[in-house]
Amino acid sequence: MTDITVKDLISLFTLIAETTAREKERLCELDGVIGDADHGIAMELGFSAAAKAVSELDPATADPTLVFNTAAKAFLNAVGASSGPLYATAFMRAGAAVKGKVSLSEDDMVSVVAALARGIQDRGKAEIGEKTMVDAWAPAAKACEAARQQGLPLAACLAEALKAAEAGMEATKDMIAAKGRSSRLGERALGHVDPGAASAVVVISCLHTLFSP
């Protein structure tokens, strides 16, 4: 695969914005069961603001770090829910991970996925098993890095990431929430997928779609 350019990253944010818009109702319904029913709105607002902001950058002069930092700022400004600072931190970390690069190699993109997951975990302080988006993001990043270490191409690494994210999302059904709004529900949260884990699968599926041949 040729290097991933600023244009490709802008396309990525556009694709995520379009996809979260389509998934808005489903994500709000999931959040309605164990939260306050706004997660789809938050994700749509955040990613449409991020996509708009990065589309206004000049691809001739912008670098990948500026794309991620611009997305972070726009997402944070657009989203009042807890997913705002979580994804904003994720994008800032992704930007820092590729600092100084004009375009991204496949290895760089794997580092981006790891940085996104790390940023969410550092910001929200959630561990695996606490019924949050970390239950999808952390195993996805781990699977992505493991696949890369085995020498697989980026598309295959992202396929592994997606599989791990889906398994992590499914696993949240059997968890009691320890972080965020749904932690007030105790055992009543059992049997329900965490909305943030579900939207993480949506985001990771976009990464997979865009970077698969």
**What is the pattern of x (binds ligand ADP, CB under 6 A) and - over residues 12-51?**
-------------------x---xx-xx--x---------
Smallest gap from Cβ 91 to Mg ion, in A, equals 20
User: What count of residues does the chain have?
Assistant: 213
**What is the pattern of x (binds Mg ion, CB under 5 A) and - over residues 14-53?**
-----------------x---xx-xx--------------
Site residues (CB under 5 A) for Mg ion, limited to 186-205:
none
Smallest gap from Cβ 104 to ligand ADP, in A, equals 26
Position closest to Mg ion via CB = 35
- Select from 20, 48, 69, 83 the one that contacts ligand ADP (CB under 6 A): 83
- Tokens standing for 47? 């990613």
Task: Report the alpha-carbon distance of residue 152 to residue 98 in Å, rounded.
Answer: 21
Contacts with ligand ADP, residue ranges (CB under 6 A)? 31, 35-36, 38-39, 42, 81-83, 86, 120, 124-126, 132-134, 179-181, 194-197
